[in-house]
Each structure stands twice: as structure tokens, then as C-alpha cells.
């Protein structure tokens, strides 16, 4: 069975400071891992994906994530938060030929001016 845990339901940072959104996963197989962002009343936009190539993955809008197998983690980071980063972020794990995915419960990021 696979599962994903987002450790913080809300994170608040000041504009210009680093962002860290935490995600731990559980999977019996080598997983594919994704981070998505969702702005209010919108669908989910892919930020980045890990698919067993480089463990440090760079995504859009300055975000990156590091796959750490020993810690079963895939935390999302950004060096400097921007007001437009305020949104909800979902960590997603998938495996298997038919690509069943499991979503985390989401982390709401608040950026304070």
C-alpha cells in the first residue's frame, strides 16, 4: 500500500524568506513523486516530479524538491517566497502500471508581506 503524509496543514512565511513544505511517503515499490499547487477555485498545476533520475528535482517558479530514500521524504523548498506563492500545495505519490495516485491532505502556504 502507498500513502503520503504532509506534516503541516498550514505554513506561514514572510515574503523573501525560505519556504519548506514537508512530505513523507510510504510505498512498497519505487515511487514516482510529484508536487502540485492549487490556487483558489482552480485546478492543480504540476510544480515538479521525481521519477528515479536525479534526486534533486527543479521545478517551476523557483521551487525544488529532494528525494531522500533513507528518510522516505520529498520536501519542497524555495529560497525566497513571493506573494504569488500563497496557495495550497499537494504532495502526490504514484506507482504501478496504471498510475494510481495518492494525494496528501495539502499544506496551505501563507505569505506575509
Partner 1 sequence: DTGVSQDPRHKITKRGQNVTFRCDPISEHNRLYWYRQTLGQGPEFLTYFQNEAQLEKSRLLSDRFSAERPKGSFSTLEIQRTEQGDSAMYLCASSLEHSNQPQHFGDGTRLSIL
Q: Which residues of this chain interact with partner 1, rule CB under 8 A?
A: 32, 34, 36, 41-46, 49, 51-52, 90, 94-101, 103-106
From CA 75, how far away is CA 73, in angstroms rounded?
Answer: 6
Q: Between the CA of residue 74 and those of 15, 36, 64, 80, what are the distances in Å?
A: 23, 13, 10, 19
Query: In the bound complex, what is the minimum distance in angstroms from residue 40's beta carbon to partner 1?
Result: 11
Q: How far is the CB of 18 from partner 1 (least distance, A)?
A: 24
Q: Tell me the closest approach of the beta carbon of residue 44 to partner 1, in angstroms.
A: 4
Helix-then-strand count for the chain, H and E: 0, 12
Of 26 and 52, nearer to partner 1 (C-beta) is 52
| Complex with partner 1: residue 43 or 113, whichever CB lies closer | 43
Cβ nearer to partner 1, comparing 1 with 98: 98
Reduced to 3 DSSP states, what percent helix, strand and coil does the chain have, rounded to the nearest 5? 5, 55, 40
- The closest alpha carbon to 92, from 52, 46, 35, belongs to 35
Quote the least distance from Cβ 4 to partner 1, whole Å: 9
Looking at the Cβ atoms of 50 and 75, the one nearer to partner 1 is 50
Amino acid at each position: 500500500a502507498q500513502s503520503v503524509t504532509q506534516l503541516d496543514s498550514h505554513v506561514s512565511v514572510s515574503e523573501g524568506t525560505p519556504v519548506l513544505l514537508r512530505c513523507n511517503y510510504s510505498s512498497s515499490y519505487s515511487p514516482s513523486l510529484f508536487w502540485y499547487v492549487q490556487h483558489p477555485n482552480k485546478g492543480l498545476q504540476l510544480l515538479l516530479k521525481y521519477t528515479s533520475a536525479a534526486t534533486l528535482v527543479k521545478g517551476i517558479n523557483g521551487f525544488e524538491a529532494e528525494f531522500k530514500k533513507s528518510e522516505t521524504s520529498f520536501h519542497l523548498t524555495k529560497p525566497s517566497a513571493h506573494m504569488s506563492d500563497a496557495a495550497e500545495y499537494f504532495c502526490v505519490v504514484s506507482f504501478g502500471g496504471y498510475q494510481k495516485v495518492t494525494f496528501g491532505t495539502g499544506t496551505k502556504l501563507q505569505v506575509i508581506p
